[in-house]
Structure 1
């Protein structure tokens, strides 16, 4: 007798472009397990639209979010299609602002639906880790059946708070690294030369790459200050800023002669920038873009005390990248060491590329579905 088909919901307040390959792979794995996997997502806010990072899935259930502004925050109510009201497992993001999460936490105590959290384990960018908001998040973090943790750093945080280790799955958060690595490998010498000409990088000049959403935690102010120091020290030094967001206006207003703001790039177009670069500049928050740097063999330089996401666990200082001290002088000095010492730069680049093979969408999907299996069976 075959096992009854289980239904699992992955609820996202909005769909990011970089998550699409993960969900496609998970759906394939779910079918092999006789699991009906559904992705439910809403639409971004006007402020989030500026980042131009939304994705599309033909088979996802798209709903219309309702946003409420309260105390400087946008609260989100995300309706659910009626036919999906009683799943076996609902995996929600660990976000205080998504108020439609709370009925799921209540229903878990009285119904048959299990609930899982997917997240960082805490707001790692919080100004005050002991604020009422953060204490509320910690209290709720134990009110779920399973945790889908971004990295081992999240696992350590949860276990340290007393959550059972056997109810946590470390996902090793990833992007489509195999795909992006292949796109990087396909970039030709001629394409690199054409891009350097397009960016007005003089012969012998180093090209630094910043890639990511443009907002305060990325330390764009530090990028500007350190860039001035590096441009003076290395003639022809140029920075390509790949990305968009609310911080772009500040960069454009600064009008630095060594900076080129090129907007959001995806796939093969983004790969051209990474292959043309000498170093990846990420003075602030490190997130998933560290895997872009690994795929391209482009050493990343960040700072120790930035408000990093869990993916900072992938960076090993002095081995596959550099964690510099705070301040423009310290950051510029760390970058300068890479630019001036080609052998050191190549050693870090090779290790970054090797380490990147451990973090793939395929492995993340396997980890995720393994956690779903354990949660459903518990």
Structure 2
């Protein structure tokens, strides 16, 4: 007698290229647990298409999103109802602009189909955290049967809202770092010494690194002000910035200073070489998934506690694998100076950061995700 395998669908409004590995592995992990995974996605909106950040999977189902731009904000409807007819579980992305989510959140979907949410819990970059949009999002937190939370920070938001912790799977959001690990290992010590010499970094001198897009939430002005204070006490300190973006003009005032070097956008081995040449990751603004670069390379990160961080900041443990300071240039500079002056403490943070890299891997995320899907399909309906 053939037993029908549980059918699970994960919805994405568009398929991002950096998620391809996740879904390929998740499909296999679900199969091992007796689940059939279906990935359903739309396409990029006109505003998103310029980023050229989408990918394809031959086994995924692509649908045509309906998009309306109202007041500069995209609203989307994904016609996926027929694609999930008779399914045991549908996992939705937690995005208020996805109008097609609401019938399922309001309980108008098939009674036998469980509904899951995958998201942050709230918009960590909102300019109005107490505004109506965030209040609306908060009211819907408990409208699903299961939650797939990005990190422990999201899980805390859910339990505070009254959602049962037994129905929360903490994914510990990650990407595949194996190529970065290989790039780091491919850079010989001679090349590292040459790279450091090219920016005037003496043997034993501390080099700070910033790596990421350049935009206001990254607090580049604070970083520059703090570096000026560090250099005043430690003239041998050097600062390297990898990346580009709309806030690049903020760097023009220091472009010709001997302690500063802008490397532009770098990827692959070139990016890895700069990480090998650096001792500290200076990121006073928003921290997201790039914290995993810090861990994998063993270059401890310093950030500020009041920045508009993404949930992945939960991975940073102050004084253990990195530092968190008050959001002023003086406080930030003092933290950098302390690590410049205390190489043993700096090395201890680096060692722990590298050890923690093993906890936040794509493989581990896939296993948690698949375990949560398997638990949800056999759990009683909550709603």
Tell me, yes or no, whether TM beats 0.5.
yes
Note the aligned Cα RMSD (angstroms). 2.7
Offset at 1:242?
3.0
Structure 2 CA distance, aligned partners of 1:111 and 1:245? Answer: 47
Q: Specify the alignment match of 2:255 in structure 1.
A: 256
Q: Specify the alignment match of 1:103 in structure 2.
A: 103
Instruction: Report if aligned partners of 1:175, 1:361 keep a CA contact under 8 Å in 2.
Output: yes
Offset at 1:217?
1.9
Q: Which runs of 5+ in 1 are unaligned?
A: none
Q: Specify the alignment match of 1:319 in structure 2.
A: 320
Q: Specify the alignment match of 1:146 in structure 2.
A: 146
Instruction: Report if aligned partners of 1:108, 1:115 keep a CA contact under 8 Å in 2.
Output: no
**Match status 1:35 vs 2:35:** yes
Q: Specify the alignment match of 1:330 in structure 2.
A: 331
TM-score of the two chains, using structure 2 as the length reference = 0.87
Offset at 1:231?
4.1
Offset at 1:103?
3.5
Q: Specify the alignment match of 2:172 in structure 1.
A: 172
Q: 1:271 to 1:326 in 2, by over 3 A?
A: same
Q: Specify the alignment match of 2:345 in structure 1.
A: 344
Instruction: Report if aligned partners of 1:152, 1:172 keep a CA contact under 8 Å in 2.
Output: yes
Q: Specify the alignment match of 1:190 in structure 2.
A: 190
Instruction: Report if aligned partners of 2:67, 2:74 keep a CA contact under 8 Å in 1.
Output: yes
Offset at 1:352?
0.8
Q: 1:155 to 1:71 in 2, by over 3 A?
A: same
* 271-280 or 199-208, which deviates more: 199-208
Offset at 1:13?
2.3
Q: Specify the alignment match of 1:374 in structure 2.
A: 375
SS of equivalent residue, structure 1 residue 358: coil
Q: Specify the alignment match of 1:128 in structure 2.
A: 128
1:205-224 residue pairs with structure 2 within 5 A?
206-224=206-224
* 279-288 or 48-57, which deviates more: 48-57
Q: Specify the alignment match of 2:7 in structure 1.
A: 7
Structure 1 CA distance, aligned partners of 2:244 and 2:45? Answer: 15
Listed one character per residue, the Cα deviations across residues 256-283 of structure 1 (whole Å, up to 9, x for unaligned) are 3314142152x44432222221111111
Instruction: Report if aligned partners of 2:141, 2:161 keep a CA contact under 8 Å in 1.
Output: no
Q: 1:245 to 1:373 in 2, by over 3 A?
A: farther
Count of residue pairs brought into register by the alignment: 375
Structure 2 CA distance, aligned partners of 1:23 and 1:14? Answer: 13
Structure 1 CA distance, aligned partners of 2:149 and 2:219? Answer: 26
Q: Specify the alignment match of 1:74 in structure 2.
A: 74
Structure 2 CA distance, aligned partners of 1:107 and 1:372? Answer: 20
Listed one character per residue, the Cα deviations across residues 24-71 of structure 1 (whole Å, up to 9, x for unaligned) are 211111222332323233444565566665445444334454443323
Listed one character per residue, the Cα deviations across residues 173-224 of structure 1 (whole Å, up to 9, x for unaligned) are 1222455334323322133245446x63444454322223333222222223
Structure 1 CA distance, aligned partners of 2:98 and 2:292? Answer: 28
Instruction: Report if aligned partners of 1:252, 1:261 keep a CA contact under 8 Å in 2.
Output: no
Q: 1:226 to 1:45 in 2, by over 3 A?
A: farther
Q: Specify the alignment match of 2:365 in structure 1.
A: 364
Instruction: Report if aligned partners of 1:50, 1:246 keep a CA contact under 8 Å in 2.
Output: no
* 24-33 or 76-85, which deviates more: 76-85
SS of equivalent residue, structure 1 residue 274: helix
Instruction: Report if aligned partners of 2:218, 2:285 keep a CA contact under 8 Å in 1.
Output: yes
Q: 1:76 to 1:144 in 2, by over 3 A?
A: same
TM-score of the two chains, using structure 1 as the length reference = 0.88
SS of equivalent residue, structure 2 residue 99: coil
Offset at 1:369?
0.6
Q: 1:209 to 1:371 in 2, by over 3 A?
A: same
SS of equivalent residue, structure 1 residue 129: coil
Q: 1:44 to 1:221 in 2, by over 3 A?
A: farther
Structure 1 CA distance, aligned partners of 2:269 and 2:58? Answer: 23
SS of equivalent residue, structure 1 residue 345: helix
Q: 1:368 to 1:82 in 2, by over 3 A?
A: same
